A = this chain, B = another copy of it.
Amino acid sequence: MENFNINEIAGGVCAAKGFKANGLHCGLYPDKNKNDLGMVASDVVCNVAAVYTTNKVKGAPILVTKRHLENSNYQAQAVIVNSKNANTCNADGEQKAEAVCKLAADELGIDVDLIIPASTGVIGQVLPLEPFEQNIKQLVCGLGYDNNEEAAKAIMTTDTIKKEAAVSFVIGGKECHLGGMAKGSGMIHPNMATTLNFITTDVSISTCLLKKALDEIVKVTYNCLSIDGDTSTNDMVSVMANGMAGNIEITVENEEYNIFKAALYNVMERMTKMLAKDGEGATKLLECSVSGAPNLDSAIIVAKSVIRSPLLKCAMFGEDANWGRILCAIGYAEADFDINKVDVSLKSASGIIEVCKNGSGVDFSEELAAEILHKDEINININLNQGNASAKAWGCDLTYEYVKINGDYRS
């Protein structure tokens, strides 16, 4: 990414002009303090781009979102999203998702095809409509231009922190904004899509370029994230652009398009790291940086292979510099390169240490390695030494807590 003047700001999905949000407890979770229904709505109709999970099992809301966006020629005005119940593998799933959209559309006074529905939670449990019927009025009434946190809380499941990011930047002399919220924190191994993410912007940009920018940035951010290797059935990112910043619409890949992409990258990379750091049971954020690769795809494949390895993830939890497991995971990555040229080092706020040179071990101080691995953000730097491409992937350690959380998730 080129270096543009991108300022990190607060506000999440409400950072962009004309976007309101809300979240509340509708009754899907037993805990009355837990928001489980959220909405994001724009004052005006937006251009939209979205990417979806590649899992053959697709949540009903994914199918309905796809249909709505096709019907509306990629326009939308609001997102309605619930947690606790994924509305997936239910015979009446699509019917229920459509009914939820209808409730939202009627209350907002807009066409049903302008609604993007989403659900996250347990697969295969019938979605009750009553909680939506009883709370839709309150949800819409409470929409506010600074209510982003309530919406961000509504999409959390096993997440321990809400995940929001936003930036401001200038395009054609106009101040623009882009922000988002994301949901973790297990069943995360995005493939051509990602976990649940909603992004809003007031930039004016054509649907075609919005989609192009999203595809490019997803590839090097959310798709380079793996918590556990399980690709979810309900993954989706949507970007809604309402044009209220007042810039002249971006319709070609010019400097302004690049600024927009840099803003999108900033927000999506930060949310990717938040997702990794808050992976189920995680105590450490792992970042694997691959350089010297023959091409971008090889760099991504190697970085993801390392980040996904359960053995490496356990070693990081144990703060054990067992670099052989890094080499092992590089070795089974399905990319074409010479393993005998590979260098590996470990880095954190405590320093950097080389552990492997030309595919073989080198002497290193176990003491320094232990200090480095004791930090809660660890970089695994891999230089393939056979090209100029580079990529990063993000993940977390594998801990007792992950097993505990997932041993009894439904209850």
A residues adjacent to B (C-beta < 8 A): 54-58, 86, 88-91, 122-126, 186-187, 191, 228-233, 308-311, 314-315, 317-318, 320, 322-325, 327-333, 337, 339, 356, 358-361, 398-400, 402-411
Contact = CB atoms under 8 A, between A and B. Distances in A.
A57 B339 contact: yes
Contacts of A331: 55-58, 231, 233
B406 A403 contact: no
B55 A320 contact: no
Contacts of A56: 330-333, 337, 339
Nearest to A187: B311
A314 B407 contact: yes
B320 A408 contact: yes
Given A90-B361, A324-B123, A330-B56, A406 B356 contact: no
A233 B328 contact: yes
Contact of A407 (B230, B317, B356, B402): B317
Nearest to A411: B320
Nearest to A318: B407
A330 B403 contact: no
A403 B408 contact: no
B360 A310 contact: no
A311 B230 contact: yes
Contacts of A402: 310, 314, 403
A378 to B, nearest CB: 14
Nearest to A57: B331
A124 B361 contact: yes
A320 B409 contact: yes
Contact of A361 (B125, B317, B329): B125
A220 to B, nearest CB: 21
